[in-house]
C-alpha cells in the first residue's frame, strides 16, 4: 500500500471511523453480508480513507465466500475510488493476491488486462508477482520471487497461504534440512501481522513436545521475517484421507494429535486452526501438529477445565470446514474448540465424508453452528461403538460437554500402538485382622473403578481418632494389590506441628513416595518434564533451595501437577492419599480443591482422611472446597462408625482363633473402648500380654474370673495408652520420647545422632518396637544431604506420640529439642534449606530463641517462594515474638530488622500496600537501622515505606522517599536499585499528573532493564521494576498523545509479566493495561484485562488489586449499557477497606461517568464532589481535568456559567499538565458547548483540538478516537 493511502487509512481510524471499520469486519465474520455503503452513510462526505479500508475488507470476504467480486465493481459504485489511481491499483493488486490463493496458476496479466487504464501503474506489481528461475538453469520455477535467507539454501516451495509461505531449505551451518516459513511480502511491514507472526514462533517454540513441530529459530533479513522449523518428511492427513486409513491407524493418529493439543492446552495455548493440512505424518508413522499461526495464549489465571473456556480474543479465526460452533459465532473460544476441530478430522477419517456437508462456506458455517451430524457408525459399520460415541462427544455444540484433549488421548490409548507402561506386581499384603467396613471398602472400590474408566473423583474418609481411617484406605490398596490390579499410589500426611510452617508438605511427601516406588523412574521422568517446579522442590540444588530463580505462579504449579498426573495416569490409574487433612496448610487445601475440580476426566482417585470435629472447630479452608466439589458431583464422604458389639466379637474370632471367651468379657471390651477399633486392638493385645487371656490348647480362654479380667482393664482410653507405654523398656521409651519431639513422623538417623546412639542400633530398636509393640510403622528409607542413610517412621497414632511428648519434663524436652535440631542441621550439611521451619520449631522448643528466629526468617523466605504469603507472614511474626524480652544487642537488632522487613513485604501482598501493620513493620525497621546503620540495607525499608505512603496517597512523603531511593541507588551505582527508584519516581509522577516525568523515568528504566537479571527483584520489592515502569509509562504515553507507543509498551509489560511468571508483577501489568484502555474508551479491552486482573488477584488473595479490578469491570459494564454502577461502588468500598486512597479521584470520576450513562446526573455530580474532596486531601491530579470536563458536561443543561467554567478549567489543567489526549478531549467538549455561544472560538477548538501546550494553537496530534460522551444540551 502506498504512503498516500496508508495516510488516508490512518486518517480514517484517527478521525473516529475505527469502530465503524471493526463493526463492518465483525458483520462479515458473523456470517452476514453487510452493505458497504451503509457504513459510509451518516458522516457527511465519505472519508476516502474509510472507503479504501472498507473496500479491501469487502473484497476479501466476498472472494472468500465465492461471491466472485472484482475491483471493477467498486470503481463503478464509487467513482472517487476509481479516480484515485494509487488506491485503485492497490485494490486491483489485492484482487489478484486473493484470487491466486484459490487459483495458484492465475497469471497476473489475466487480471491486469481487465484494467487497461491502470496498465502503467500495475507494471511494478507485475514484477513483484511474476515467475522467475532461482539458482540458474535447472532450478525450480516459483510462482513468485523467492526471498533471501542467509545461511540457508532454498530448495523448493512446500506450500503457503494467508498466514505464511513455507520453503524447504538446507541449513548451511548445521548441514540439515529445515523448513522456512516467511510472512507474505504484502504483510511484512504491517506491525499487526508481524506481531502475529512473531507470536506464532514464540508460542510454538514454548511447546516442547514430540508431536509438535519444533521451532529452531526466528530470523529477519531484508525486511522479511521468517521462522526456521523442523523439516518433516511425510504427508498430511489431507493426503491420507484419500486412501481411507484403517480405523486402528486413524485412532492412533488422532490420539497423537490429541496428546499434542493436551500439552498446548496445559500451557494455556489454543491452536484455533486444527485441520488435516496442519497434521502431518512422518514416514515412520509419527504425527506432528503444525502451524500455530492462529494460536492464542489464554490468560495465565484462566482455568483449563471445561467451565474455563474464557479466551479473551473474540473474532472468526480458522478454516471454515474445521471451525467450532463458537468460532462461527465469533464468541470466545478455548481448548474445547480445538477438540471440536479434531473431531471433524476424526469424523472425516472414520467415514470418508465431512460431518457438515454444505454447498458454500456460509451454509457450512450455519450447519456447524446448528446441525447434528449423522452418527459416524451409520456411515462405517466397522467403526467400534466406543469410537463413534467419542466422535459424537467431540462434536457436541456445547463446549462444556466435549471431552478434553487429554481425555480423547486417554480414550484412544487402548487403540494406540504406543507401548503400555508396565506396573510391577505389588508384594503380597500383610496378614490383616479387620472386621466390618464392607460398605466403605465397596465404595472405595467403586470409586477406583470409575477412576479406571476416566471418571476420577475425591473420596473423603471421615471419623474420630483411632476409628481406622488410615487402616481402611491401606486395606483397600492391599485388596487391589491382591487382585493384581495395576495402580500407582502417592501417600502424604499432614503434620500438626508443621501445619503453618511448611507449605505443600503432604503433596511433596506424596510425590516423593511416587518417585521412590517401583516405577519411580517413569514418574521421575514425567515429573521433570511436566512438573519441573515440583521436581525442583523435591531435589533442590544443594545450598540453593530456590535454585537461584523465582518460582512460577501458583497457577502454573497447579497446572504442572495436573499435567503430571494426567500423563502418569494414562496407562495406570493413580491414587493420591492424603491423611490428616484437618492439619493441612492453606496452600495444600487450595491445591487439593484444584485437583478435585480437574480429576473428572482423569484416571485419578483422590482419597483424603480427616477428623470432622477438628475441621469444623477450626473453620478449616478445606470445608468450603469440599462443599464446592460436592456441588460439582465429584466428592463423596465416607463416615466411619464405631464398631458394634457383634463386630468386636468377630474381631476376637480373627485375633484369637477358636476363643471361648464369655459374652460378659466381650460386652466389657466394647464398653471400655466404645467400639473404637484402635483401642479394641490395643486392649486385646494388652490382655494377652498381661496373660489375662491365655492359650489353652487350640483355644484362647480367660485365666481367671470375668470380674478379674474386667478389673484389669483400664478405665479409659487414656489409661489404656498409659498401660501400653508402660510396657516399654527404658531404652525404647527414651528413644520414642525423643522421636515424639520430632512429631508424628520422624527419622531414625536424627534421633540416633541426637541421643548419641549408633544409627544401626537405633534402626534395630525401632524395628523391634514396630514388631513387638506396634507403636510405629516404617514409611521409607532415604538419604540426607550429607549422604547419611535413614529410616523414616510414623507413630501408628498421634495419641501415642502426644502421650510420650507430654511425659517429657520441660527441661528435658528443651534439651532433647536442641540436640535434635543440632543433629538435623548437621545431616543437612549446615544448610537449613526446606527443613528451616522444622529446625526453627525445634530450636524454639529448645529455647535457643535467636537461632530459632533466624530459621523462622529462612522458613518465611521458603514460604514466600511458594507463594504461601500468609504462612510467610505468620512465620515472620513467630520469629519476632521470640525476640521479645531479649537483651538489646547488635545481633538482636539485626535479627529483628530482617524479620520486620520480611513481615512488611508479606503484609503488603496479603493485607494491602496501605494496611496499617505495614507501616508499623517498616517504621520499626527504619528505627532499628537509624540506631545501628550497619545491621542491614536501608533501601528495602525506604521502598516499603514509599509504597505505603504512595498507596495512602500521601504524595508529599512518597515524593521525598522516591528521591531518597534514587540518591541511595545512584550512590551505590547499582542498576537494579536505580530501576526500582525509577519505578517509584514514575508512579508518584503519574499520580501527581506529571506524565512527562513518568515518560522520562520509563525510558531511563528501559535502557537499564535486563529481564534475566532484574525480574528476581520481585521477591525483594514486590514487583518487577522494568514491567512496572512499562505499565505506568504506557498510561503516561497515552496521556501525552502517543497512543501507538502506549499500546505497544502496555503489551510489552503484560508479556514480560507473563514470561516472568510472578503474580504480583502480572497483576500490576494487567491492571494498568485495563486503565490504559479505559482512558482509550475501549470497554471490551477493559473487561478483558480487568477480568484477568481479578482472576490473579482472587487466586493469590491480593485484596488491593481485586478491588481495583472490580472498579474497572463496573465501568466496562456501564460503558456497554449494562448495570455496572453497583459493582463500581463495591469496588471503591473494597479499595478503601485496604487502607488505600491512591487513584480514588480517578475511580470517583469513573463512578460519575457510569452514573451519568445511567441517567443519574445528581449521583454523578455527587461522585465528582467526592473526587474533589479526595484530591484536596491527597493532591492526586492524575485525572483532574477529567473531573472538570465531566462536571462541565453534566452542568451544560443546568447551569451554563458553571458548565463553561468547568470546561475551561479542564482545558487549562490538561494544557498545564501537557496531557495532550485529555486536552483534546476537553477542548472538543468545550468546542461543542460554545458552538452556539461563541462560534469562532468553538470552530478553533474543534479544528485544532485545544490551545496546545505552549502559547498559541497547535495542530491536533494523530490520536485514536477518544471516548467523549456527548454533553446534554
- List binding-site positions for ATP: 181
User: Is 512 tagged catalytic?
Assistant: no
> Which residues touch 1081 (CB under 8 Å, ≥6 apart)?
1119, 1265, 1266, 1267, 1268
How many other C-beta atoms can be found within 10 angstroms of the C-beta atom of residue 660?
11
Judge contact between 661 and 700, C-beta under 8 A: yes
Judge contact between 566 and 480, C-beta under 8 A: no
Residues 498-535 as b/e (b if ≥16 CB within 10 A, e otherwise) read bbbbbbbbbbbbbbbbbbebebeebbbebbeebbebbb
**CA–CA dist 1214, 1110 (Å, integer):** 28
CA-nearest of 187, 566, 246, 643 to 409 is 566
Judge contact between 969 and 981, C-beta under 8 A: yes
Angle between helices 748-755 and 810-827 (to 10 degrees): 120
**CA–CA dist 448, 427 (Å, integer):** 20
How many other C-beta atoms can be found within 10 angstroms of the C-beta atom of residue 649?
18
By the 10 Å C-beta count (0-12 exposed, 13-18 middle, 19+ buried), 633 is classed as exposed
- Sign, CA torsion 443/444/448/451: positive
**CA–CA dist 1129, 1116 (Å, integer):** 13
Query: Please, how many CA atoms are within 13 Å of residue 936, restricted to the half-sphere of its CB?
Result: 22
**CA–CA dist 929, 939 (Å, integer):** 11
1212 to 561, 1145, 1236: CA distances (angstroms): 57, 18, 21
CA-nearest of 901, 908, 907, 895 to 942 is 901
> Which residues touch 1243 (CB under 8 Å, ≥6 apart)?
1231
**CA–CA dist 445, 443 (Å, integer):** 5
Judge contact between 337 and 272, C-beta under 8 A: yes
If you ran DSSP here, which 8-state letter would residue 321 be given?
G
Give, for 282, the enclosing helix (H) or strand (E): strand 279-282
DSSP state string for 485-539:
---EEEEEE--TTTTTTSTTHHHHHHHHHHHTSTTHHHHHHHHHHH-HHHHHHHS
The torsion angle over the Cα atoms of residues 294, 298, 303 and 304, rounded to 10 degrees, is: 20
The β-bridge partners of 777 are 794
Q: Which residue has the cell 467415514?
A: 351
Question: Out of 84, 171, 273, 1082, which one is annotated catalytic?
Answer: 273
Ramachandran assignment for 943, one of left (phi > 0), alpha (psi -120 to 50 degrees), beta (any other)? alpha
Binding-site residue ranges: 181
Residues 1026-1044 as b/e (b if ≥16 CB within 10 A, e otherwise) read bbbbbbbbbbbbbbbbbbe
**CA–CA dist 813, 846 (Å, integer):** 7
Judge contact between 401 and 393, C-beta under 8 A: yes
**CA–CA dist 1086, 1091 (Å, integer):** 8
First to last CA, the chain: 43
> Which residues touch 771 (CB under 8 Å, ≥6 apart)?
none
Q: Which residues are catalytic?
A: 273
Amino acid at each position: 500500500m502506498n504512503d498516500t493511502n496508508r495516510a488516508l487509512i490512518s486518517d480514517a481510524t484517527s478521525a473516529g471511523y475505527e469502530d465503524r471499520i471493526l463493526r463492518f469486519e465483525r458483520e462479515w465474520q458473523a456470517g452476514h453480508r453487510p452493505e458497504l455503503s451503509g457504513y459510509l452513510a451518516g458522516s457527511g462526505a465519505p472519508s476516502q480513507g474509510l472507503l479504501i479500508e472498507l473496500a479491501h475488507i469487502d473484497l476479501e470476504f466476498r472472494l472468500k465466500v465465492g461471491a466472485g467480486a472484482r475491483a471493477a465493481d467498486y470503481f463503478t459504485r464509487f467513482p472517487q475510488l476509481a479516480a484515485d489511481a494509487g488506491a485503485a491499483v492497490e485494490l486491483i493488486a489485492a484482487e489478484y493476491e486473493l484470487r491466486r490463493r484459490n487459483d495458484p496458476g492465475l497469471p497476473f496479466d489475466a487480471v491486469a488486462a481487465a484494467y487497461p487504464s491502470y496498465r502503467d501503474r500495475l507494471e511494478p506489481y507485475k514484477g513483484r508477482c511474476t515467475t522467475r528461475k532461482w539458482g540458474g538453469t535447472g532450478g525450480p520455477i516459483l510462482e513468485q520471487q523467492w526471498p533471501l535467507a542467509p545461511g540457508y539454501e532454498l530448495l523448493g516451495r512446500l506450500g503457503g497461504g494467508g498466514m505464511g509461505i513455507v520453503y524447504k531449505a538446507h541449513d548451511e551451518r548445521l548441514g540439515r534440512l529445515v523448513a522456512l516459513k516467511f510472512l507474505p511480502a504484502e504483510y511484512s511491514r504491517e506491525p499487526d501481522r508481524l506481531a502475529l507472526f512473531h507470536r506464532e514462533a514464540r508460542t510454538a517454540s514454548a511447546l516442547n513436545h514430540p508431536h509438535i513441530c519444533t521451532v529452531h529459530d526466528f530470523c529477519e533479513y531484508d525486511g522479511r521475517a521468517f521462522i526456521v522449523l523442523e523439516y518433516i518428511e511425510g504427508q498430511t492427513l489431507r493426503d491420507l484421507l484419500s486412501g481411507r486409513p484403517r480405523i486402528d491407524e486413524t485412532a492412533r493418529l488422532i490420539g497423537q494429535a490429541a496428546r499434542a493439543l493436551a500439552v498446548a492446552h496445559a500451557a494455556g495455548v489454543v491452536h484455533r486452526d486444527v485441520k488435516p493440512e496442519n497434521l502431518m505424518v512422518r514416514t515412520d508413522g509419527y504425527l506432528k501438529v503444525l502451524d500455530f499461526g492462529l494460536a492464542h495464549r489464554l490468560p495465565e489465571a484462566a482455568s483449563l477445565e471445561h467451565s474455563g473456556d474464557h479466551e479473551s480474543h473474540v473474532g472468526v479465526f480458522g478454516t471454515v470446514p474445521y471451525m467450532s460452533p463458537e468460532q462461527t459465532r465469533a464468541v470466545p473460544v478455548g481448548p474445547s474448540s480445538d477438540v471440536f476441530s479434531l473431531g471433524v478430522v476424526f469424523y472425516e477419517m472414520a467415514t470418508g465424508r465431512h460431518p457438515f456437508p454444505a454447498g458454500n462456506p456460509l451454509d457450512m458455517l450455519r450447519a456447524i453452528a446448528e446441525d447434528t451430524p449423522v452418527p459416524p457408525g451409520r456411515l462405517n459399520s466397522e467403526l467400534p461403538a466406543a469410537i463413534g460415541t467419542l466422535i459424537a462427544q467431540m462434536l457436541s455444540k456445547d463446549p462444556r460437554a466435549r471431552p478434553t484433549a487429554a481425555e480423547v488421548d486417554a480414550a484412544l490409548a487402548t487403540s494406540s500402538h504406543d507401548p503400555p507402561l508396565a506396573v510391577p506386581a505389588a508384594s503380597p499384603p500383610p496378614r490383616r485382622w479387620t472386621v466390618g467396613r464392607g460398605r466403605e471398602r465397596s465404595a472405595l472400590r467403586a470409586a477406583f473403578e470409575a477412576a479406571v474408566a476416566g471418571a476420577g473423583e475425591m473420596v473423603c474418609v471421615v471419623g474420630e481418632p483411632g476409628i481406622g481411617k488410615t487402616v481402611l484406605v491401606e486395606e483397600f490398596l492391599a485388596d487391589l494389590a491382591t487382585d493384581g490390579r495395576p495402580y500407582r499410589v502417592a501417600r502424604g500426611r499432614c503434620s500438626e506441628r508443621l501445619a503453618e510452617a511448611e507449605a505443600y508438605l503432604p503433596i511433596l511427601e506424596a510425590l516423593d513416595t511416587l518417585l521412590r516406588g517401583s516405577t519411580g523412574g517413569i514418574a521421575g521422568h514425567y515429573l521433570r518434564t511436566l512438573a519441573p517446579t515440583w521436581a525442583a522442590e523435591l531435589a533442590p540444588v544443594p545450598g540453593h533451595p530456590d535454585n537461584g530463580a523465582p518460582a512460577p505462579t501458583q497457577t502454573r504449579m497447579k497446572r504442572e501437577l495436573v499435567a503430571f498426573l494426567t500423563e502418569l495416569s494414562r496407562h495406570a490409574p493413580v491414587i493420591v492419599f492424603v491423611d490428616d487433612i484437618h492439619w493441612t496448610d492453606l496452600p495444600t487445601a487450595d491445591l487439593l480443591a484444584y485437583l478435585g475440580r480437574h480429576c473428572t476426566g482423569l484416571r485419578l482417585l483422590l482419597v483424603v482422611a480427616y477428623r470432622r470435629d477438628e475441621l469444623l472447630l477450626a473453620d478449616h479452608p478445606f470445608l468450603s472446597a469440599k462443599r464446592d466439589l460436592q456441588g460439582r458431583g465429584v466428592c463423596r464422604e465416607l463416615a466411619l462408625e464405631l464398631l458394634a458389639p457383634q463386630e468386636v466379637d468377630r474381631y476376637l474370632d480373627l485375633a484369637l482363633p477358636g476363643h471361648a471367651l464369655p459374652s460378659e468379657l466381650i460386652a466389657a471390651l466394647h464398653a471400655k473402648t466404645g467400639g473404637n477399633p484402635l483401642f479394641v486392638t490395643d486392649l486385646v493385645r494388652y490382655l494377652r500380654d498381661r496373660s489375662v487371656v491365655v492359650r489353652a490348647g487350640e483355644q484362647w480362654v480367660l485365666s481367671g474370673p470375668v470380674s478379674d479380667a474386667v478389673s484389669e482393664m483400664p478405665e479409659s482410653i487414656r489409661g489404656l495408652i498409659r498401660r501400653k507405654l508402660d510396657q516399654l523398656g527404658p531404652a525404647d521409651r527414651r528413644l520414642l520420647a525423643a522421636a515424639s519431639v520430632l512429631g508424628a513422623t520422624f527419622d531414625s538417623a536424627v534421633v540416633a545422632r541426637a541421643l548419641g546412639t549408633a544409627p544401626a542400633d537405633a534402626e534395630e530398636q525401632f524395628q523391634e518396637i514396630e514388631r513387638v509393640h506396634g507403636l510405629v510403622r516404617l514409611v521409607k528409607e532415604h538419604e540426607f544431604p550429607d549422604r547419611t542413610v535413614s529410616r523414616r517412621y510414623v507413630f501408628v497414632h498421634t495419641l501415642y506420640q502426644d502421650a510420650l511428648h507430654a511425659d517429657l519434663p520441660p527441661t528435658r524436652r528443651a534439651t532433647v529439642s536442641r540436640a535434635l535440631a543440632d543433629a538435623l542441621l548437621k545431616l543437612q550439611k549446615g544448610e537449613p534449606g526446606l527443613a528451616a521451619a522444622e529446625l526453627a520449631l525445634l530450636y524454639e522448643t529448645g529455647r535457643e530463641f535467636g537461632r530459632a528466629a533466624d530459621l523462622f526468617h529462612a522458613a518465611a523466605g521458603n514460604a514466600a517462594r511458594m507463594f504461601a504469603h500468609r504462612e510467610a507472614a505468620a512465620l515472620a511474626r513467630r520469629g519476632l515474638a521470640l525476640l521479645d524480652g531479649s537483651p538489646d544487642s547488635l545481633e538482636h537488632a539485626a535479627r529483628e530488622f530482617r524479620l520486620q522487613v520480611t513481615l512488611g513485604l508479606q503484609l503488603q501482598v496479603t493485607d494491602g500496600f496501605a494496611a496499617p501493620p505495614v507501616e508499623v513493620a517498616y517504621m520499626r525497621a527504619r528505627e532499628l537501622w537509624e540506631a545501628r546503620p550497619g545491621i542491614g540495607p536501608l533501601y528495602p525499608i525506604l521502598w516499603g515505606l514509599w509504597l505505603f505512603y504512595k498507596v495512602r496517597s500521601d504524595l508529599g512523603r512518597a515524593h521525598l522517599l522516591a528521591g531518597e531511593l534514587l540518591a541511595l541507588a545512584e550512590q551505590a551505582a547499582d542498576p537494579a536499585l536505580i530501576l526500582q527508584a525509577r519505578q517509584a519516581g514514575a508512579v508518584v509522577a503519574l499520580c501527581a499528573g506529571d506524565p512527562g516525568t513518568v515518560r522520562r523515568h520509563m525510558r531511563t528504566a528501559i535502557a537499564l532493564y535486563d529481564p534475566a537479571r532484574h525480574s528476581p527483584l520481585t521477591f525483594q520489592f514486590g514487583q518487577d521494576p522494568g514491567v512496572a515502569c512499562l505499565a505506568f509509562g504506557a498510561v503516561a504515553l497515552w496521556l501525552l498523545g502517543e497512543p501507538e507507543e502506549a499500546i505497544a509498551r502496555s503489551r510489552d509489560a503484560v508479556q514480560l509479566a507473563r514470561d516472568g511468571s510472578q503474580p504480583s508483577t502480572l497483576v500490576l501489568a494487567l491492571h494498568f493495561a485495563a486503565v490504559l484502555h479505559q482512558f482509550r474508551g475501549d470497554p471490551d479491552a477493559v473487561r478483558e484485562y480487568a477480568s484477568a486482573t481479578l482472576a490473579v488477584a482472587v487466586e493469590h488473595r491480593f485484596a488491593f488489586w481485586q478491588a481495583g479490578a472490580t472498579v474497572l469491570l463496573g465501568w466496562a459494564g456501564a460503558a456497554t449499557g449494562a448495570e455496572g454502577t453497583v459493582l463500581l461502588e463495591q469496588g471503591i468500598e473494597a479499595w478503601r477497606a485496604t487502607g488505600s486512597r491512591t487513584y480514588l479521584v480517578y475511580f470517583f470520576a469513573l463512578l460519575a461517568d457510569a452514573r451519568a450513562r445511567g441517567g443519574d446526573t445528581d449521583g454523578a455530580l455527587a461522585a465528582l464532589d467526592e473526587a474533589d474532596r479526595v484530591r484536596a486531601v491527597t493532591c492526586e491530579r492524575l485525572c483532574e481535568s477529567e473531573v472538570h470536563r465531566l462536571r462541565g458536561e453534566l452542568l451544560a443543561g443546568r447551569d451554563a456559567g458553571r458548565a463553561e467554567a468547568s470546561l475551561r478549567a479542564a482545558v487549562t489543567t490538561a494544557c498545564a499538565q501537557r496531557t495532550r489526549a485529555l486536552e483534546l478531549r476537553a477542548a472538543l467538549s468545550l468546542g461543542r458547548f460554545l458552538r452556539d455561544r461563541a462560534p469562532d472560538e468553538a470552530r478553533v477548538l474543534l479544528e485544532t483540538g485545544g490551545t496546545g501546550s505552549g502559547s498559541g494553537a497547535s495542530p491536533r496530534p494523530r490520536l485514536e478516537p477518544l471516548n467523549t460522551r456527548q454533553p446534554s444540551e
